[in-house]
C-alpha cells in the first residue's frame, strides 16, 4: 500500500457524518464548530445569511439615479409622543433613487415621491417633538441603465405613454 493511499484511508475513516476536519491540523471537530478545538483555525461556514452582501449605505451621495434602496425600520424622521414612544414617518420598504442632495435622497417609492433625510439629527421646526434623523438604508440593486424605472413601472400619466 502506498503512502498516498494510507493517508487517504486515514482521512476518510476519520471523518464521520456530523463532523468536519480541520484543514490545518486534520483534527476532527463537531459539524457546528466555528473554530478548530486543537489549533483554533476558523472553519469556513458554508451557509451565509441571505442579504449579507447587501451593505448599509454610509454615504448616500454615492447613490445613482435608478439605484434601488431599502429603508430599514426603526430610524429616520420621527416624533416622540407623550409616552416617549417614537413614531417614524418614513415607511420601511423599497425606494428608487432619483437624485441626491447634501442632506438626503430624492426617491420614488410605493406612495410616490419621498424625500429621505440623511443628515444630522435635528429638531423639526414644524412639529413639536418632531425630529429629522438620518435613515438607515441598504443598497438592494444598482441602477439598470436600460430601464431605471423598471421596478415600479411607469407612473400614471407618464410622459412615456403619450
Binding site for Zn ion (CB under 5 A): 22, 24-25, 27, 36, 38-39, 41
For the record, the C-alpha cell of 97 comes out as 433613487
3-state secondary structure (DSSP) of residue 88: strand
Contact 70, 92 (CB under 8 A): yes
Q: Which is nearer to Zn ion, 21 or 143 (CB)?
A: 21
Q: CB 8 → Zn ion: shortest distance, Å? A: 19
Contact 71, 92 (CB under 8 A): yes
Q: Which is nearer to Zn ion, 38 or 144 (CB)?
A: 38
Q: Which is nearer to Zn ion, 22 or 69 (CB)?
A: 22
CB neighbour list of residue 5: distance below 8 Å, 6 or more residues apart: none
Q: CB 34 → Zn ion: shortest distance, Å? A: 12
Q: CB 63 → Zn ion: shortest distance, Å? A: 43
Amino acid at each position: 500500500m502506498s503512502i498516498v493511499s494510507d493517508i487517504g484511508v486515514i482521512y476518510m475513516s476519520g471523518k464521520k457524518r456530523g463532523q468536519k476536519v480541520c484543514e490545518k491540523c486534520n483534527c476532527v471537530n463537531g459539524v457546528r464548530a466555528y473554530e478548530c478545538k486543537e489549533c483554533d483555525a476558523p472553519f469556513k461556514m458554508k451557509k451565509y445569511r441571505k442579504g449579507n452582501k447587501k451593505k448599509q449605505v454610509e454615504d448616500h451621495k454615492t447613490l445613482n439615479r435608478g439605484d434601488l434602496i431599502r429603508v430599514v425600520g426603526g430610524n429616520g424622521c420621527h416624533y416622540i409622543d407623550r409616552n416617549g414612544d417614537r413614531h417614524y414617518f418614513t415607511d420601511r420598504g423599497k425606494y428608487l433613487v432619483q437624485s441626491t442632495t447634501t442632506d438626503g435622497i430624492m426617491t420614488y417609492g410605493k406612495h410616490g415621491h419621498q424625500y429621505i433625510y440623511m443628515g444630522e439629527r435635528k429638531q423639526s421646526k414644524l412639529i413639536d417633538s418632531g425630529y429629522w434623523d438620518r435613515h438607515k438604508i441598504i443598497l438592494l440593486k444598482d441602477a439598470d441603465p436600460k430601464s431605471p424605472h423598471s421596478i415600479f413601472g411607469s407612473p400614471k400619466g407618464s410622459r412615456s405613454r403619450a
